[in-house]
Amino acid sequence: MTVEGFVPSPIDRRAKTYIAGHRGLVGSSVWRRMGSEGFTNLIGRTSAELDLTHRDEVFEFFKSERPEVVVLAAAKVGGILANNTYPVDFLSTNLQIQTNVMDAALAIGVPRLMFLGSSCIYPKYAEQPIREDALLTGLLEPTNDAYAIAKIAGILHVQAVRRQYGLRWISAMPTNLYGPGDNFSPEGSHVLPGLIRRYDEAKNSGATTVTNWGSGTPRREFLHVDDLASACLHLLDNYDGSKQVNVGTGSDVTILELAEIVANAVGYSGITQWDKTKPDGTPRKLLDISTLTSLNWKPSISLEEGIAQTVKWYVDNRHTASARRPSGAAESVASETVGG
């Protein structure tokens, strides 16, 4: 089979590999995956150790550490309400992080870099499932357009470096992600962790009703973060094209169906209501993953299995998970994870 950009030359497991955002949902999973696949020289910095919005510090770090592989999984992320309320934070912080990291990586000629984006880069009314070539063909969903523009700039940044300098940098666009270590804050989170927390609290307090946001009719695709990590490594080993590659499962559910799965997994048996004053966001966001499947990758964690595992993690870590600051607050730190 011929796939544009196919490179049958796996990454050397001894290469010094910097994972930006290694404490976040995505970065921590990529770190675990690479560790278990034999990478022996992984490096990471917490946001307290290295603030990626500080350009000089980022250049110093790259000059002294000289990584050979970079996974750019650091970003300021949040759910629909956070994105809608703090758009300039999502735009500015993400542009700063990704521009600093990619400029510093270019300055030392890092040969292999992966930039992680989000499925919200595609037009609001893109044909479903969304193919990679739908990029820049229509208007964005307004609730997260600022975040999306930053991520689109990142894709173009990678393509421009490839064109101007010939470095083998690539981009991956994950669909909505979830998993252990996610942000479970009621205001800042994405829908899946938001629902886990809400149903768990309702069950524990004996509440007879739960109220979710929007109409429940939008459709979303959900990918377990460990499947994303496996796809990232697969792409680093097997892909070298300028086109951003979609990463998803190929199937979606309504938010209403998702709520039923979460309520069952948590063991909540009360009534669910919908607050239609809250935004629905884009009506549907399902990725076409044929580029990735033609490279012989497929997801392995079903939604039910992944949610059950994430609920268990949440219940075991309820106190620390619930104490996290809402993503989207203006002072929020600059090394989280990807999503949008």
Catalytic residue IDs: 147
DSSP letter (8 states) at residue 141: P
103 binds ligand GDP (CB under 6 A): no
Question: Phi/psi at 315 (nearest 5 deg)?
Answer: -65, -40
- Count of residues binding ligand GDP (CB under 6 A)? 21
Where does this chain touch ligand GDP (CB under 6 A) — which range of 188-196, 200-208, 302-310, 327-335?
Answer: 188-196
Please answer whether residues 272 and 263 qualify as being in contact, where contact means their C-beta atoms are separated by less than 8 angstroms.
yes
Where does this chain touch ligand GDP (CB under 6 A) — which range of 16-24, 41-49, 166-174, 208-216?
Answer: 208-216
Residue from 69, 105, 120, 235 that binds ligand GDP (CB under 6 A)? 120
191 binds ligand GDP (CB under 6 A): yes
Signed CA dihedral, 202, 208, 210, 216: sign only: positive
Residues 268-307 touching ligand GDP, rule: CB under 6 A, are 278-281
Euclidean distance between CA atoms 292 and 178, whole angstroms = 20
Please answer whether residues 148 and 340 qualify as being in contact, where contact means their C-beta atoms are separated by less than 8 angstroms.
yes
326 binds ligand GDP (CB under 6 A): no
Where does this chain touch ligand GDP (CB under 6 A) — which range of 57-65, 100-108, 132-140, 185-193?
Answer: 185-193
Where does this chain touch ligand GDP (CB under 6 A) — which range of 164-172, 210-218, 221-229, 233-241?
Answer: 210-218
**Neighbour-count burial of 242, counting CB atoms closer than 10 A to its CB (0-12 exposed, 13-18 middle, 19+ buried):** middle
23 three-class SS: coil
Residue from 20, 71, 72, 80 that binds ligand GDP (CB under 6 A)? 80
Residue from 29, 47, 189, 291 that binds ligand GDP (CB under 6 A)? 189
214 binds ligand GDP (CB under 6 A): yes
Alpha-carbon torsion angle 248, 249, 252, 255, nearest 10: -70
Least distance to ligand GDP, CB of residue 142, Å: 11
Q: For residues 99 and 183, which CB has a smaller minimum distance to ligand GDP in the complex?
A: 183
Which residues lie closer than 8 Å to 337 by C-beta, 6 or more apart? 21, 24, 25, 26, 27, 73, 74, 75, 77, 177
Which residue, among 7, 336, 334, 31, has the nearest Cα to 168 in the 3D structure?
7
176 binds ligand GDP (CB under 6 A): yes
Please answer whether residues 288 and 246 qualify as being in contact, where contact means their C-beta atoms are separated by less than 8 angstroms.
yes
Least distance to ligand GDP, CB of residue 80, Å: 4
Please answer whether residues 72 and 318 qualify as being in contact, where contact means their C-beta atoms are separated by less than 8 angstroms.
no
Euclidean distance between CA atoms 27 and 164, whole angstroms = 28
| CA-only gyration radius of the chain, Å | 19
Residue from 17, 93, 100, 144 that binds ligand GDP (CB under 6 A)? 144
Residue from 67, 218, 250, 326 that binds ligand GDP (CB under 6 A)? 218
179 binds ligand GDP (CB under 6 A): no
Please answer whether residues 216 and 274 qualify as being in contact, where contact means their C-beta atoms are separated by less than 8 angstroms.
yes
194 binds ligand GDP (CB under 6 A): yes
101 binds ligand GDP (CB under 6 A): no
Euclidean distance between CA atoms 131 and 126, whole angstroms = 9
Where does this chain touch ligand GDP (CB under 6 A) — which range of 6-14, 22-30, 105-113, 186-194?
Answer: 186-194
Residues that bind ligand GDP (CB under 6 A): 79-80, 120, 144, 176, 189-191, 194-195, 212-214, 218, 220, 255, 278-281, 340
